[in-house]
Amino acid sequence: MRSRIVAQALASAAFGALAMAAIGITPANAEGTTLTYLASQGWVADAELELGKKFEEQTGIHIDYQIIPSDQYFSVLRTKLNSGEAPDIFGGQSGVTDLQLQYNVEKNALDLSNEPWAKLEDPLVAAQASVDGKLYGLTYWDTLGGPPVVNYNKEIFARFNLEAPTSFEGLKTICTTLLDNGIQPIYEPVSDGWHHVLWFFELGPHYEKVTPGLAEALNANQATFSENEAMLTVLTQLKDLYDSGCFGTNALSDAYSESGKVMAEGDAAMVLAANGFIQQMKNDFPDIDANNYGIFLIPLGDNQQLNINPAGPTKFVSATSPHADAAKQYLQFLTQPENMQYFIDHSPQFNNLPFPGLTSKLSPETQAFMDRYKDARGTVYQTAVTYANAQWMDVGKDLTAMFTGAMQPADVLSSIDSRRTDLARTARDPAWQ
Amino acid sequence: MLRGPYPAYFVLPALVLYLTFFIVPSIGGIGYSFTDWNSYSTEVNFIGLDNYARIFSPKERYLTYLANTMIFAVVSIALKTVLGLGLAVLLHEGVKRFVNLYRVLIYLPVVLPTLIVALIFKSILNPATGLLNSFLRSVGLDGFALQWLVDPRIALFSIIGVDTWKGVGFITVILLAGLQTIPKEYYEAAKIDGAGAWARFRHVTIPMLMPAIVVVTVLNVLHGLRVFDIVYALTNGGPGYATEVIYTEIFKAFSQGRFGLGTAISSVLFVILAVAGYFVIRLLERKPTR
């Protein structure tokens, strides 16, 4: 009799486990548990809050979302991590520098490499949440869908028999033609301090194509920016664009917030912006014809590699969490295909997530563009190279000084190297000791 | 031996508070300037004069920022004092009607928040769409329609102009108060001696107003050397590094988590302020010549 009861119990448990596995959730026996989840403002979308409620309905595990204002987030998180009061899940920006410097994930977070979703995540994205091959976080963010590309006005191009360029010379020819006809070729808002830096760091995949393994060598302090010819060429060409008037006469006082209006009204023919820019412009200026606009890759240095920034807000499970299994269960729940599709469909700011088999919200033309470069893409250097993103605004100042003649392209590269050395020594990076 | 009305130990509570909240943190701050204290590491190491060597190294830009700060302080002091004196004299002797209205109008920019002033002037000084250049072009002065905040050669002076517009009212009020304390008899006596308007201004007004001028100079020196908000909001130190000043660098060092370097730059500025303050106080102690 006892053996029958035991057999029935075992069979029931096995059936239950199978049923749970079928819907993708492993048992955690965590009903009534409350998970604390610390994140910066803007990192938890409304759709995720809704998914959190569904998760609670299914498992009985409540998520206590603790949202901290962005400017205080790192201080609060660091204090909690250092004082042994870490939340069960904490948010953080992925990326090779931040992962170790800001979060010290090897000490503070659990290795999630064996989670069911780990193998499915886009490898470029997963690499930015990994240290020494171990995956520490889930990047639940549209990191692949919107790289900055050159958005152009097809009607203006057609008027002068111009086509989307694939080389710097092609871009220069377009600029010259448009300038000769009284049209501002490119709207480049330098005054914001950050936008014009995109022309340089976004070309990381191009630098990597020219010099394979460059990012790794830079991170190991075995190469420098100032030695790199491809980077010097790109900066020289960027200065050439500014000097020849391609950015207009007021680039230093132009602001990015005006770019949609400028492009919608045809006051400039091109602008460097995320590939969702056209859709955004259509929302802001409904009278425009979205089909009148197209996109092409940044052609400086004759680049033909798609720039991807796979870093973004990422979820880490605290190494000291008493509810680690429940926390992993939550991440597993979020990565169920139907939940990811729900997240995409109910988040206006996202077009996709970095997992296969999901229906993207990108326009067919943009999707075709992304697909065209599926095998010719790479990670931008602000993410792939250490101590690059941390000096973004400083590089912006350098580039402005380059435009005004106070610095030369080679000076800008030396300046980047100098700041990297400084930051690395401050952080006591072993590669710089 | 003369004794005060209270025993000496009455000063202890105030002394303890002052030591605890002012002197000790100041000394601590100077102490940290000799370390590599930063937000990336829990270790704080003594590095001697490295931070100071870096600040004064010609390879770095700190000396340029120091020069910009000095230019800002000297030019803004001169402009504010001259304009403030002119306006004060005008309000004291020249304007007969609506004096109070003019005083309010001149003082009004002083009470406006710097950020608001900067936003307004960013719009006015925009080279393409700004009010100033539009006006200049409309009256045929296209040659004077400059790139006010984006030309590295004039951006610092544009900021000084905006700061002068904002601060001159305060200087005017102090100098006006000084003018009102000068007895009329001095002017009458000078007139009888045959002194003209310029001679009365030079030999009566200026000497008698010297204490007030010294006060506004002290305030202007302190304000000028510590300038930050107007620069940060108008150009953020740009274009490039053309308008960076010491305080924008201190802000940058602290926001990047380089606390040791930040305190070293602060300490350098402290010394400069102390030296400038010493000389201004020496001036203050001098009796006005009659």
- The SS3 assignment for A258 reads helix
Q: Are the Cβ atoms of A252 and B38 closer than 8 angstroms?
A: no
Q: What is the pLDDT of residues B193-248, one digit of tens each?
A: 999 999 999 999 999 998 899 889 888 998 999 999 999 999 999 899 999 999 99
Is the pLDDT higher at A123 or at B255?
A: A123
Q: Are the Cβ atoms of A400 and B240 closer than 8 angstroms?
A: yes
Using a CB-CB cut-off of 8 Å, the residues of chain B touching A400 are 238-240
Q: Are the Cβ atoms of B240 and A407 closer than 8 angstroms?
A: yes
Q: What angle do CA B165, B64, B240 make, to 5 degrees?
A: 75
Beta bridge partners of A150: A272, A296
Q: Are the Cβ atoms of B128 and A253 closer than 8 angstroms?
A: yes
Q: Are the Cβ atoms of A426 and B147 closer than 8 angstroms?
A: no
The pLDDT value recorded for residue A26 is 42
Q: Are the Cβ atoms of B240 and A191 closer than 8 angstroms?
A: no
CB A389 within 8 A of CB A237: no
Residue of A397, A429, A432 best to disrupt the B interface, most CBs of B under 10 A: A397
What distance in Å separates residue B83's CA from the closest CA in chain A? 30
Position A8 pLDDT exceeds 70? no
How many other C-beta atoms can be found within 10 angstroms of the C-beta atom of residue B60? 14
Q: Which domains does chain A have, with CATH numbers?
A: 2-144+310-355 (3.40.190.10), 148-308+370-432 (3.40.190.10)
Residue of A426, A428, A432 best to disrupt the B interface, most CBs of B under 10 A: A426
The pLDDT value recorded for residue A29 is 52
Position B153 pLDDT exceeds 90? yes
Mean pLDDT of A17-42: 64
Domain residue extents for chain B: 24-285
Position B278 pLDDT exceeds 80? yes
- pLDDT-based confidence at B2, cuts 50/70/90? low
Residue of A70, A82, A83, A252 best to disrupt the B interface, most CBs of B under 10 A: A252
Position A256 pLDDT exceeds 60? yes
The pLDDT value recorded for residue A95 is 86
Q: What is the pLDDT of residues B101-151, one digit of tens each?
A: 999 999 999 999 999 999 999 999 999 889 999 999 999 999 999 999 999
Cα A309 off chain centre by? 4
Q: State the Cα–Cα distance between residues A221 and B132, nearest whole angstrom.
A: 50
CB A394 within 8 A of CB A414: no
- pLDDT-based confidence at B285, cuts 50/70/90? low
Residue keyed to tokens 């920022």: B65
Using a CB-CB cut-off of 8 Å, the residues of chain B touching A403 are 239-240
- Closest by CA position to A190, among listed B242, B174, B238, B276: B238
Mean pLDDT of B66-94: 94
The pLDDT value recorded for residue A145 is 74
Using a CB-CB cut-off of 8 Å, the residues of chain B touching A252 are 147, 150, 239
Note whether B128 contacts A: Cβ–Cβ < 8 A.
yes
Q: State the Cα–Cα distance between residues A221 and A201, nearest whole angstrom.
A: 18
Position A11 pLDDT exceeds 50? no
Q: What is the pLDDT of residues B156-167, one digit of tens each?
A: 999 999 999 999
| 3-state DSSP helix/strand/coil % of chain A, to nearest 5 | 50, 15, 35
Backbone region of residue B48 per phi and psi (left: phi > 0; alpha: psi in -120 to 50; beta: other values): left
The pLDDT value recorded for residue A275 is 75
The pLDDT value recorded for residue B281 is 73
Lowest-confidence range among A94-98, A148-152, A382-386, B138-142? Answer: A94-98
Q: Are the Cβ atoms of B256 and A404 closer than 8 angstroms?
A: no
Residue of B241, B244, B252, B261 best to disrupt the A interface, most CBs of A under 10 A: B241
Residue of B37, B39, B134 best to disrupt the A interface, most CBs of A under 10 A: B39
The pLDDT value recorded for residue A93 is 86
Q: How many residues does chain A have?
A: 433
Position A20 pLDDT exceeds 70? no
Give residue A222's identity as a one-letter amino acid code: Q
Using a CB-CB cut-off of 8 Å, the residues of chain A touching B151 are 404
The pLDDT value recorded for residue A28 is 46
Q: State the Cα–Cα distance between residues A306 and A185, nearest whole angstrom.
A: 22
Q: Which residues contact B62 (CB under 8 A, 6 or more apart)?
A: B54, B55, B56, B246, B249, B265
Note whether A249 contacts B: Cβ–Cβ < 8 A.
yes
Q: State the Cα–Cα distance between residues A204 and A176, nearest whole angstrom.
A: 27
Using a CB-CB cut-off of 8 Å, the residues of chain A touching B150 are 191, 250, 252-253
Q: State the Cα–Cα distance between residues A386 and A256, nearest whole angstrom.
A: 27
- pLDDT-based confidence at A16, cuts 50/70/90? very low
ipTM: 0.82
Note whether B249 contacts A: Cβ–Cβ < 8 A.
no
The pLDDT value recorded for residue A17 is 42
The pLDDT value recorded for residue A6 is 47
Q: Are the Cβ atoms of A253 and B241 closer than 8 angstroms?
A: no
What distance in Å separates residue A88's CA from the closest CA in chain B? 23
Note whether B147 contacts A: Cβ–Cβ < 8 A.
yes
Note whether A250 contacts B: Cβ–Cβ < 8 A.
yes
H helices of B112-255, where?
A: 114-124, 131-138, 155-180, 184-192, 197-200, 206-225, 229-234, 246-255
What distance in Å separates residue B67's CA from the closest CA in chain A? 16
Q: Which residues contact B120 (CB under 8 A, 6 or more apart)?
A: none
What distance in Å separates residue A78's CA from the closest CA in chain B? 10
- Closest by CA position to B109, among listed B155, B172, B157: B172
Using a CB-CB cut-off of 8 Å, the residues of chain A touching B256 are 390
The pLDDT value recorded for residue B211 is 87
The pLDDT value recorded for residue A10 is 45
Chain B contacts in chain A segment 175-214 (CB below 8 A): 190-191, 193
Using a CB-CB cut-off of 8 Å, the residues of chain B touching A428 are 40-41, 43
The secondary element (H helix, E strand) that includes residue A36 is: strand A34-40
Q: What is the pLDDT of residues A262-300, one digit of tens each?
A: 999 999 999 999 877 888 888 889 999 999 999 999 999
DSSP 8-state code for residue A431: G
Structure-derived torsion over alpha carbons of residues B278, B284, B289, B290, reported in degrees to the nearest 10? 180
**Arithmetic mean of pLDDT over chain A:** 89
Position A12 pLDDT exceeds 50? no
Using a CB-CB cut-off of 8 Å, the residues of chain B touching A397 are 237-238, 240-241
Give the closest of A253, A400, A402 to B126, CB-based: A253
Sign of the torsion formed by the C-alpha atoms of A193, A211, A241 and A199: negative
Position A5 pLDDT exceeds 80? no
The pLDDT value recorded for residue A143 is 87
- pLDDT-based confidence at A331, cuts 50/70/90? very high
CATH of B24-285, one of 1.10.3720.10, 3.30.230.10, 2.70.50.60, 3.90.110.10: 1.10.3720.10
Q: What is the pLDDT of residues A180-213, one digit of tens each?
A: 999 999 999 998 888 999 999 999 999 999 999 9
Position B290 pLDDT exceeds 50? no
Q: Which residues contact A45 (CB under 8 A, 6 or more apart)?
A: A343, A347, A349, A350
- pLDDT-based confidence at B266, cuts 50/70/90? very high
What distance in Å separates residue B275's CA from the closest CA in chain A? 31
